[in-house]
Amino acid sequence: MARKFIKRYMPDVHIIRNHRHLKIFGTLLHDANLWHLNRHSVSTAFAIGLFMACMPTPFQMLPAALLAIWFRANLPISVALVWVSNPVTMPPLFYFCYKVGTWILQTPPQPFKFVLSWEWFWQQIAHDWQPFLLGCVVVGAALGAIGYSVMRAFWRWHVIRAWQARKDRRLAAKQKNL
């Protein structure tokens, strides 16, 4: 079952609740819905995690955790999915977001030569921040919606398959007893 597979990789709830750095959340982490694995919590966690993965903010895990608490989604999954954007995937992801933003705003993308310096970074951001941020929001919302829909469909498919297998076992047992 999908729940059993996910539970294998989930951290222990009591360790997270008692972690010294997470005491700032107080009793918010004691909400059982943050740790349940059901269709709603997992699909909402996918939406939050994939949306926040596209946001160009530092410490993306903290806003993902706050959104998971707010929407009562599965906290570990939403925080873990933020790592879709990691140092390897971030440059192509953000460049794609920039291209989407320029396409939506119908502005030509500006050619640039990458230089590893803060001066170059602030110059580029000052010039291209509007298409970049718009693209990040649009791509994040699209990825979040796709993740939500795919997880809902996967969960439903898995439940239907489990019910069918149970029905087949009952039928086989009934046939055996006759």
Q: Model-level pTM?
A: 0.80
| CA 1 distance to own-chain centroid | 21
pLDDT digits 0-9 by tens, 34-60: 888 889 999 999 999 999 999 988 889
Mean pLDDT value across the chain: 85
DSSP label of 109:
P
Counting every residue, how long is the chain? Answer: 178
pLDDT digits 0-9 by tens, 99-134: 999 999 998 887 766 666 777 777 777 778 899 899
pLDDT surpassing 80 at residue 144? yes
